[in-house]
């Protein structure tokens, strides 16, 4: 995941989380999903064309497609009003892939921080499977708040460390990311039970958006 791409992962997750809790209308959120989704489909395609069968490069590009297709799917749903079951089941597939990529980050790549980040994304995508694929509407607010927190834990913050050349990876930092992610999930579930003070979420925001 490039530092610039990761920064925009944080941006779109933040907007999608706000959409889920009813702060940002769905059609408004769709615009950024189209921008970032297109970027994360076009760029990895260019990378693959130039990869010359280099497996580490291909491996990195494959992960970007998971994000790109998710965001494009979200944008299309918000604009068309099509139901989200397909996105929900796609999210289950992506969650499984994220688990594998996370494990490989720990073992093959030797980057435990991104291992923890990918496992956090796996949890996020699984929540979208529950919400959209299985129709667990009671998880809408909780998923929205978790998405907002995860946007910065897994996107914005590590992206800036990468951009300024200060990124480090070790077991201690991976544990810190894991603790932050668990705290974010607990906070999301708590806030999800309380609802939000602004009142009802918008119907447009109900359609959804993952990682």
Question: 103 with 115: CB under 8 angstroms?
Answer: yes
* Positions in the chain whose pLDDT score sits under 50: 196-207, 209
Q: How many CB atoms lie within 10 A of CB 137?
A: 11
Q: What is the pLDDT of residues 31-90, one digit of tens each?
A: 999 999 999 999 999 988 988 888 888 888 888 999 999 999 999 999 999 999 999 999
CA distances (Å), 77 to each of 25, 29, 55, 59, 209, in order? 13, 11, 33, 28, 9
Cα angle value 5/159/204 (rounded, 5°): 60
Beta strands in the chain (DSSP E): none
pLDDT at 57: 84
In DSSP notation, 80-125 reads H---SHHHHHHHHHHHHHHHHHHHHIIIII--HHHHHHHHHHHHHH
pLDDT at 201: 41
Q: What share of the chain is helix, strand, coil (3-state, %, to 5)?
A: 80, 0, 20
């Amino acid at each position: 995941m490039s530092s610039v791409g990761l920064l925009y992962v944080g941006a779109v997750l933040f907007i999608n989380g706000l959409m889920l809790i009813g702060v940002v209308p769905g059609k408004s959120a769709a615009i950024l999903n189209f921008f970032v989704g297109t970027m994360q489909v076009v760029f990895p395609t260019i990378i693959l064309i130039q990869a010359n069968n280099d497996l580490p490069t291909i491996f990195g590009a494959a992960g970007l497609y998971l994000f790109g297709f998710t965001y494009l799917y979200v944008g299309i749903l918000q604009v068309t009003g099509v139901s989200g079951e397909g996105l929900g089941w796609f999210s289950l597939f992506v969650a499984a892939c994220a688990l594998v990529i996370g494990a490989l980050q720990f073992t093959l790549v030797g980057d435990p921080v991104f291992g923890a980040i990918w496992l956090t994304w796996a949890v996020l995508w699984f929540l979208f499977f529950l919400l959209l694929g299985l129709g667990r509407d009671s998880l809408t607010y909780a998923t929205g708040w978790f998405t907002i927190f995860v946007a910065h834990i897994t996107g914005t913050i590590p992206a800036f460390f990468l951009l300024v050349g200060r990124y480090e990876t070790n077991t201690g930092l991976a544990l810190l990311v894991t603790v932050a992610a668990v705290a974010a999930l607990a906070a999301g579930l708590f806030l999800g039970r309380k609802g939000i003070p602004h009142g009802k979420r918008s119907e447009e925001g109900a359609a959804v958006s993952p990682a």
